[in-house]
Structure 1
C-alpha cells in the first residue's frame, strides 16, 4: 500500500479559495483579500498564503494587475482540443481497453483523497483500479476513488468492466453533472504492489497525475490517481506567450 500524506497547507488553502470563487463569494473581477487579511483569516503563515495564491494564478483562477492587486478571473476555460489524462480516465469504455481490472473494493480512504472528496478521514470509499496495457507492456495504473453515497444504485462496485465511461455512468445513474477537472502532476516512488503491476523494478519513480473531477459547485465527485512509469513518458505542450 502506498504511503499517503495529507495535502500541504498551501494546497488546502488554494482549494478553499477556489471554492469561494466557484460559489460566488469572490466573483470574477473582484479583488481577493490581501495577504495580510488571508494570514489573519486562516491562521496560516505568509509563505503558505503566497504559495496558495501563486498556485491559483498558475492554474488561471487569479491574476495580478498592476495597481489593483490580485484579481479573480473565475473558473479557467477548458481547452477542449487538447489531450487530457483526466478526461481519458473519466470517459474511456473499460470493456474496450487493453488491460484488466485488478481491484474493485471498499477501502479506507487515503488521507489526501479524503481531503479532496470532503469525506471523514475514517470513511471508506470505493476503489476501482484499472491496469492499462499496450503492446503487451503495462503503461498505466488508474485508481479511482468514489464516496460511498455516490456508488449506491450504480454498477461501479461490480467486478466486471463498465461498458461506458465512469462519467457517463454516474451522470446517467445518479443525475449528477461533471463540470471540470483539475490535474496535479507529481513524481513519487510506487508501492511494491504498484511497481509489480506496472512491471517496474522497486525504486524506479512514477508520474502521478491526480485527477479531481468536480461538479459546477466545485464539489469533487471522484478522485483518480493515474500512475505512469516515468521512464516511458514524455510530456510536451505548446502554447502562445501573451
Structure 2
C-alpha cells in the first residue's frame, strides 16, 4: 500500500482520561504500522508537524514518540533530510502459537464465546495491516477466550473476505480443537508462513471493562498480530486484549515457552 494512502487512513488519537500518556499511545500506533509492514523500509515519515495534524497531537508529543522509535532502531532520523523507516527484523511471532492447541496439550479446557461476527470495511488498523484498498471488506470475528471457564483475553480477528469467501459464524466452534483460528484457516486451504507481533498498552473500552470486571479506561495489554501466507500476503490481523492480571498473563506465557511442540506455522528462510 502506498505510504500516502496509509497516512490518509489514520484517525486522530482520542483524548481520554487515564494513566497512559498521549505520546505512548502515538508511539503504539506507529509501532503497529511498522509491525504490519504498511510502511516499507526506506519510506520517509511525514514531518513532525504533519504527524501532529494527522493524529491531533502536539509536535512535542510527536517528537517524544519518534525519539523512542528511533532509540529502538525502528526508524532512522537524518538531520536536515527526514525520518525513514528502518529495515524491520522478521521474528517468529508468539501469535503463531495456537492458544487452543497449547491449552489442550496441557490438559486445560479452552473455550470461546462469540461476541460479534460480520463483514466490515475500512476499520483501522486492520485494513492497512491486511493491505486492503477501495473499501475491500473483511470478516470480523470477535470472541472472548476462556481457560477453564475463566475469561483470559478478547480476540478481534480480521480476515480478508477475498480469501475466506462464504465464512459464517457457525464455522468456528466454541469448544475443542475446532475453535482455533488455525483450524479455520486450514479449512480454507491457507498455508501460514510467518508473522509479526506488537505489544502496547491501551485503555479498556466499556466492553472490555465489563467482560473482565475492570474499571472503565483501566490500562490493559493489547497484542496485535499479522500473519502471512506462503505468498507473503497478510491473511489475518488479530488484536488480543488481555484482561487478566499481568502476573497471570506472564505465568501463562512462561508455560508456553517451556512446552516442546511443533509450530503450526513457521517462517520461510
Q: Give the structure-1-normalised TM-score.
A: 0.61
* Aligned partner (choices 148, 159, 178) of residue 192 of structure 2: 178
The answer for unaligned runs of 5 or more in structure 2 is: 1-9, 13-27, 49-62, 75-85, 255-269
Report the Cα distance in structure 2 between the residues aligned to 1:126 and 1:16, rounded to whole angstroms.
20
Give unmatched runs, 5+ long, in structure 1. Answer: 21-32, 59-71
Whether 1:88 aligns to 2:98 is yes
Deviations 1:35-88 (A, max 9, x none): xxx54xx7x449899877766x57xxxxxxxxxxxxx99964638xxxx34522
Count how many residue pairs are aligned between Structure 1 and Structure 2.
198
Relative distance call for 1:172 and 1:159 in structure 2 (3 A) is closer
Match of 1:150 in 2: 163
1:129-168 map, 5 Å: 129-154=142-167, 158=171, 160-161=173-174, 163=178, 165-168=180-183
After superposition, the Cα gap between the structure-2 partners of 1:210 and 1:89, relative to the gap in structure 1 and judged at 3 Å, is: farther
Q: Distance in 2 between matches of 1:179 and 1:159?
A: 22
Any conservation in 1 of the 2:140–2:156 contact (CA below 8 Å)? yes
Equivalence map 1:70-219=2 (5 Å): 76=90, 78=92, 84-88=94-98, 97-120=110-133, 122-154=135-167, 158=171, 160-161=173-174, 163=178, 165-174=180-189, 176-219=190-233
CA 180–124 in structure 1, closer or farther in 2 if over 3 Å, else same? same
Cα 1:52–1:216 change in 2 (3 A) is farther
Question: Structure 1 residues 202 and 168, CA, compared in 2 at 3 Å: closer, same or farther?
Answer: same
Cα distance in structure 1, aligned partners of 2:243 and 2:184: 29
Cα distance in 1 for partners of 2:98, 2:198 equals 15
**Alignment partners' CA distance in 1, 2:147 and 2:228:** 29
How much has 1:142 moved relative to structure 2? Answer: 0.9
TM-score between both structures, scaled by the size of structure 2: 0.56
